[in-house]
């Protein structure tokens, strides 16, 4: 069923997509614009994102594509972006948390956090919570978190969650993707009855720029593996499906891949880990509980 023909229609709805100056995020923003949504791109790079906005407007013929500039790897950056979104838009119907990187060397942010953890997970939690009242008030609404099958490489070692003792770029990335799913499942449980759904998606192995910040050797490995990778157009399909399909109306707390419900690892279903990660994230962002 086409999204525009069902009860869930994104035309004229406000849809925020983070990490949308390129790659999958940009393609998701384009897909939403083509369906007539009012799209808000959130990116740390004003230059790249401005170009992306112009290209999306030109391709979709939808003039309602806006830009919010913000560094989501820091708490202050997330707060600034959320404040601007809150000020500029009366409603928020779809939030796609998509920002993320594979980072070759452990990098510490202004908040004294590992950047992989801060950008790939904590920004999802923080931005969602700052905007949650508006999302609830706009229900029915959807939150879509970009995870990955790479979560199978992750491990929730809360005593070494940010690679303090030993940093591995793949382990850090995989753990952040596992955190995305843990966060999504806990969020969905807490949002029960609000009319807001939360799902995590695996886009697939996509030819995108997510590994440009990886180590030189890893960039070579990633490039070599791109031979059979999906295009960004195909990689965006599951995220767009999660954000727009009427077939998913009311469906929440799921892991989605290839435009269907999939099964993550057993670790993703660990409710104790979900709660502990939630509480840690709340502490690190000084956010009140839902």
Over the Cα atoms of the chain, what is R_g?
A: 17
Three-class secondary structure of residue 256 per DSSP: strand
Q: Which of 89, 124, 125, 173 is catalytic?
A: 173
* Residue 89 is a catalytic residue: no
**Cβ neighbours for 123, distance < 8 A, ≥ 6 positions apart:** 18, 72, 73, 78, 97, 99
Pull the structure tokens for residue 73: 């790897």
Closest residue by Cα to residue 164 from 153, 175, 179: 175
Q: What angle do CA 163, 165, 169 make, to 5 degrees?
A: 35
Task: In whole angstroms, give the CA distance from residue 19 to residue 193.
Answer: 29
Q: Is the backbone peptide bond immediately before 185 cis, with ω within 30 degrees of 0? A: no
> How far is CA 257 from each of CA 12, 217, 242, 282, rounded to the nearest angstrom?
27, 29, 10, 28
Secondary structure letter of residue 1 according to DSSP: -
Task: In whole angstroms, give the CA distance from residue 290 to residue 282.
Answer: 10
Pull the structure tokens for residue 150: 């790479």
Cα 276 off chain centre by: 20
> How far is CA 3 from each of CA 51, 178, 243, rounded to the nearest angstrom?
28, 29, 10
The catalytic site residues sit at: 173
């Amino acid at each position: 069923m086409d999204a525009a023909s069902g009860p869930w229609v994104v035309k004229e709805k406000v849809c925020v997509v983070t990490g949308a100056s390129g790659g999958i995020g940009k393609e998701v923003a384009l897909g939403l614009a083509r369906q007539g949504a009012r799209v808000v791109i959130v990116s740390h790079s004003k230059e790249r994102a401005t170009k992306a906005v112009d290209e999306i407007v030109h391709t979709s013929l939808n003039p309602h594509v806006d830009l919010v500039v913000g560094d989501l790897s820091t708490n202050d950056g997330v707060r600034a972006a959320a404040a601007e979104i809150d000020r500029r838009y009366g409603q928020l119907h779809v939030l796609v948390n998509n920002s993320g990187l594979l980072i070759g060397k452990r990098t510490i942010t202004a908040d004294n956090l590992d950047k992989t953890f801060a950008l790939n997970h904590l920004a999802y939690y923080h931005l969602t919570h700052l905007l949650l009242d508006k999302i609830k008030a706009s229900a029915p609404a959807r939150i879509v978190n970009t995870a990955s099958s790479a979560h199978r490489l992750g491990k929730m070692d809360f005593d070494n969650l940010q690679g303090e003792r030993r940093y591995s770029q793949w382990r850090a990335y995989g753990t952040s993707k596992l955190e995305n799913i843990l966060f999504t499942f806990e969020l969905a449980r807490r949002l029960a009855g609000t009319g807001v759904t939360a799902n995590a998606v695996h886009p697939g192995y996509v030819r995108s720029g997510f590994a440009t910040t990886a180590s030189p050797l890893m960039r070579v490995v990633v490039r070599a593996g791109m031979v059979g990778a999906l295009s960004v157009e195909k990689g965006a399909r599951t995220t767009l499906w999660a954000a727009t399909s009427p077939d998913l109306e009311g469906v929440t707390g799921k892991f989605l891949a290839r435009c269907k419900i999939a099964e993550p690892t057993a670790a993703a279903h660990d409710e104790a880990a979900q709660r502990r990660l939630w509480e840690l994230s709340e502490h690190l962002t000084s956010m009140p509980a839902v």
